[in-house]
Amino acid sequence: MSTQKRFNTLKWAVVFTVLFTVVTVNAFSGGQGESSKAQDKNNSVREITVASIADPAVGLPEVEAAINKITVPRINTRVKFLPIESGAYSQQISLMMASGEKIDLVRGTSFGTVSFSVMHAQHQLMDITDLLPKYAPDLIRTVTEIIPDFLEGTRVNGRIHSVSGFFNKVNSDYFLGRADILDKHNIDIYGVKGLDDVGNILGVLKRNEPNQVPIVTYQRDASALILEGGSFYDDFSNPVHFDTLGDSANRLAVVFLSNPENVVNLYKTDNYRKMLERVHDWYKKGYVYKDALINTEIQEILVRNNIGITWTASSEIGVEVAKEERTGYKIRAVKAAPGMITTTTMTRIFWGVPVHSKEPEAALKFLNLMYTDPDINNLLAWGIEGRDYEVKSDGTVGFPAGITSSNAPYHSMDFRWGNQFITKVWTGNPPDLREQARKENQNASSSPLLGFSFDTAPIQNEIAMLSNIISQYRPGLESGTIDPAQGLPAFIKALDGGGAEKVIAEIQKQLNAWKSTKK
């Protein structure tokens, strides 16, 4: 009887194992059989799926239909859009990539698992160096007309795997504040020459506006003075620029433009120490939001809710109008440091074809249209004319009567899609905004390191450790909460213990190799 029982158990175990293996193998290798079917309909209309960050909109089907009315006759392709909310985007896309779901064109962003360096390190994107000139020649012509180095920003080891989104690439650093409060105390923000002046303004606000915080910060940057843009601007007329080499999150290894040969540890520089001392001084004087360490709201929200008066931000031109829309108050802004075109700004938004896509040709043809056709761009950004937007007398577009951003069937943003420069200007902005932006981009200086982004593969363990150390020490220091006299040496010691020097040396090695291929 006991052998009988054991045999039965064994039988079940075998059945389960077989079942288990079959199911898993199927789950992991899904969709192998579909390729042959695709061959049959060589001449029929191609179908591609485009994944992008967008809020779900009830009016999407009509927009999609209108776009297909253009794409089917012109490039024989039907486009299906897959909008994913920004909060879930990173996770959704990496899951879809891992399981090989149908996506033919994917938008990458600057953060998390869909960032440029991650997608490249894991070979998620197809090499389109040779396909691009063949299927998207107009795209190349359009982008290089405004920024000659455009394609260099996303070229790694000579190969192109993605194309940067075509929108205003110049993000300058600004110091901003609420116009009504500044006027009340006769503060001329346009006369600010540097951070010493900013300190004086904060002092006046602290004395006269006891119920509001003079300057607010955001936990993710947790810093009042140093921004993604990459510059220290103690003196607004003479900012010190550095290039974060595509890693704006950790920004450990940077290259100062005054010394473009050497990779240095940003946290060990004098500029950084001085910046920390200044914010800590501000914190002690009560200028800085005391809950900065735990605040998860962006500055605009704090200003909108009467918590803060001033803040700093990295933004494109038209900053006063844009921020007024977001805060509900009239805003004045003074430029602290002009923006520069770097790998970081070029990889903030990019489009690529996933390696498992079966329609790279159709995807690139559509990308070509998205960068060159105004109708497609207006549809994607603002929806259907008459329903979602109407053209105003000055040539800008806005909501028709009775429609707002909360009840519009479809309303997106102009920088989220192909070509911002040929998309109509949203109302409230100067009608010649695109002209201004075009000029700003044409005149902007590019970093000499544009196009260099490092390969994290040899230093993964170090980056894992350093990410923890940086998120442990940096917010406390950069929000001014922690005294840099003790905090900074402890931070630097922890970084060295976590392998910062090895990372710097590795990136220096990669940079030298990259430079030698450029010459």
Residues between 298 and 357 that touch other proteins (CB under 8 A)? 307, 355-356
Q: How far is CA 298 from CA 161, 286, 415, 483, 497, in A?
A: 32, 20, 20, 24, 33
Give the contact letters, 454-493, x = binds to other proteins (CB under 8 A), - = no: --x---xx-xxx-xx--xxxxxx----xx-----------
By the rule CB under 8 A, 53 interacts with other proteins: no
**Contact (CB, 8 A) for 389 and 380:** no
Task: Supply the minimum distance, in Å, between the C-beta of residue 290 and other proteins.
Answer: 4
* Residue closer to other proteins (CB basis): 331 or 469: 469
* Residue closer to other proteins (CB basis): 118 or 384: 118
By the rule CB under 8 A, 28 interacts with other proteins: yes
At 163, list the tokens. 């194309």
Pick from 10, 13, 24, 129 the residue near other proteins by CB under 8 A: 24
**Contact (CB, 8 A) for 253 and 245:** yes
At 368, list the tokens. 């070509």
Pick from 68, 110, 219, 271 the residue near other proteins by CB under 8 A: 219
Q: Which residue has the tokens 């519009």?
A: 408
**Contact (CB, 8 A) for 337 and 236:** yes
* Residue closer to other proteins (CB basis): 390 or 483: 483
Task: Supply the minimum distance, in Å, between the C-beta of residue 299 and other proteins.
Answer: 15
Contact range with other proteins by CB under 8 A, out of 15-23, 253-261, 343-351, 383-391: 15-23
* Residue closer to other proteins (CB basis): 16 or 145: 16
Q: How far is CA 23 from CA 15, 31, 231, 239, in A?
A: 12, 13, 53, 59
CA 241 to chain centre: 19
Contact range with other proteins by CB under 8 A, out of 95-103, 147-155, 385-393, 431-439: 95-103
Contact range with other proteins by CB under 8 A, out of 131-139, 242-250, 358-366, 369-377: 242-250
**Contact (CB, 8 A) for 507 and 462:** no
Task: Supply the minimum distance, in Å, between the C-beta of residue 28 and other proteins.
Answer: 6
Q: What gap in Å lies between CA 483 and CA 267, rounded to an integer?
A: 15
Pick from 68, 92, 110, 250 the residue near other proteins by CB under 8 A: 250
By the rule CB under 8 A, 27 interacts with other proteins: yes
Pick from 293, 321, 403, 492 the residue near other proteins by CB under 8 A: 293
SS3 245: coil
Task: Supply the minimum distance, in Å, between the C-beta of residue 284 and other proteins.
Answer: 13
Alpha-helix residue ranges (DSSP H) falling in 259-313: 270-284, 299-304
Q: What gap in Å lies between CA 458 and CA 462, rounded to an integer?
A: 9
Task: Supply the minimum distance, in Å, between the C-beta of residue 112 and other proteins.
Answer: 7
Task: Supply the minimum distance, in Å, between the C-beta of residue 281 and other proteins.
Answer: 17
H-helix or E-strand spanning residue 154: none
Site size with other proteins, rule: CB under 8 A: 57
Pick from 20, 65, 184, 188 the residue near other proteins by CB under 8 A: 20
* Residue closer to other proteins (CB basis): 219 or 508: 219
Strands 240-243 and 350-352 turn out to be unpaired
Q: What gap in Å lies between CA 194 and CA 51, rounded to an integer?
A: 43
Pick from 101, 149, 234, 291 the residue near other proteins by CB under 8 A: 291
By the rule CB under 8 A, 23 interacts with other proteins: yes
Pick from 92, 94, 271, 396 the residue near other proteins by CB under 8 A: 94
Task: Supply the minimum distance, in Å, between the C-beta of residue 23 and other proteins.
Answer: 6
Q: What gap in Å lies between CA 390 and CA 387, rounded to an integer?
A: 8
Task: Supply the minimum distance, in Å, between the C-beta of residue 344 and other proteins.
Answer: 14
Task: Supply the minimum distance, in Å, between the C-beta of residue 438 and other proteins.
Answer: 34
**Contact (CB, 8 A) for 477 and 141:** no
Contact range with other proteins by CB under 8 A, out of 16-24, 132-140, 335-343, 365-373: 16-24
Task: Supply the minimum distance, in Å, between the C-beta of residue 103 and other proteins.
Answer: 12
**Nearest partner of 192 among 215, 169, 171, judged by Cα:** 215
* Residue closer to other proteins (CB basis): 62 or 291: 291
At 240, list the tokens. 């010190």
Task: Supply the minimum distance, in Å, between the C-beta of residue 21 and other proteins.
Answer: 8
For residue 519, the tally of other CB atoms under 10 A from its CB is 4
Q: What gap in Å lies between CA 203 and CA 512, rounded to an integer?
A: 46
Residues between 122 and 181 that touch other proteins (CB under 8 A)? 122-124
Q: What gap in Å lies between CA 307 and CA 170, rounded to an integer?
A: 29
Residues between 364 and 383 that touch other proteins (CB under 8 A)? none
Q: How far is CA 465 from CA 142, 248, 250, 254, in A?
A: 42, 17, 11, 18
At 204, list the tokens. 């006046």
* Residue closer to other proteins (CB basis): 147 or 463: 463
**Sign of the dihedral defined by the CA atoms of residues 406, 410, 413, 414, in that order:** negative
Long-range CB contacts for residues 456-459, cutoff 8 Å, separation at least 24 = 456/117, 456/121, 457/121, 458/506, 459/499, 459/502, 459/503, 459/506
Residue 224, judged by CB atoms within 10 A of its CB (0-12, 13-18, 19+), counts as buried
Per CB under 8 A, residues contacting other proteins are: 1, 4-5, 8, 16, 19-20, 23-24, 27-29, 94, 97-98, 100, 112-113, 115, 118, 121-124, 213, 219, 247, 249-250, 289-291, 293-294, 296, 307, 355-356, 456, 460-461, 463-465, 467-468, 471-476, 481-482, 494, 497-498
